[in-house]
Amino acid sequence: GENVEQHPSTLSVQEGDSAVIKCTYSDSASNYFPWYKQELGKGPQLIIDIRSNVGEKKDQRIAVTLNKTAKHFSLHITETQPEDSAVYFCAAISGGSYIPTFGRGTSLIVHP
Amino acid sequence: DAGITQSPRYKITETGRQVTLMCHQTWSHSYMFWYRQDLGHGLRLIYYSAAADITDKGEVPDGYVVSRSKTENFPLTLESATRSQTSVYFCASSGGLGGYTFGSGTRLTVV
């Protein structure tokens, strides 16, 4: 089955800095890669996603890149703000499945 | 209101009691899921369902039972609660095209 590794587990940055979270996956059949943000006391919320026919996708301050050859994808947050502090999860879904495999999560802390 | 709702938000129960966590979605999504979230373990899949009356075990199904008699509801039952089942439980639904929406969670404490 699919295996998703996520790094780092904790990331601490100063406000205004960029943050990068990386995930690797094992199943070459995976073709959909969503990212979720989970704020304290809330459920994970989809913030951006990318499909395997696209190499990069941006939405304001966040972007996701995908390298299918190397089987890794990354979340980039620019100009971080304190409200970006949360736990971020990556996931991968195979074309033959509807069940995502989640990474273990990254706790992002943005210091004012 | 449209969306996915879980109830209750918080629950304290005693060891050995049966407890049911409710999940309701208004999108008529085919797929529904139950996860538990514990420190150090991320999100672990308990059970999932592809449609009404179709359910299957996930990664950690022991001690849990699910049913799906209607598309919009997917209750999770702990038949005889144990302290190890103290956790935050999330329900999620998907239309099958990748979009995946989580509920707000139920924090369950078994004493």
Question: A106 to chain B: which residues are within 8 Å by CB?
Answer: none
pLDDT in tens, B67-94: 999 999 999 999 999 999 999 999 999 9
pLDDT of A7 higher than 90: yes
What phi, psi does A30 have (nearest 5°)?
-65, 135
The whole-number pLDDT of residue B1 equals 55
Chain B: nearest CA to A32, how far in angstroms?
7
A93 vs B99: CB contact, 8 Å cut-off? no
Counting as low any pLDDT under 70, the low residues of chain B are 1-2, 97-98
pLDDT in tens, A23-54: 999 999 999 999 999 999 999 999 999 998 88
Give every CB contact of residue A91 below 8 A, 6+ residues apart in sequence. Answer: A4, A33, A34, A35, A36, A100, A101, A102, A103, B100
pLDDT in tens, A67-82: 999 999 999 999 999 9
Please report the beta strands in chain B, taking only residues with DSSP state E, as ranges in sequence order: 4-7, 10-13, 19-25, 31-38, 42-51, 54-57, 64-66, 76-78, 87-94, 100-102, 106-110
Measure CB to CB from residue A44 to each of B45, B96, B102 and give the nearest one. B102
Q: CB distance from A104 to chain B under 8 Å?
A: yes
Reference A27, options A100, A89, A88, A104; nearest CA is A100
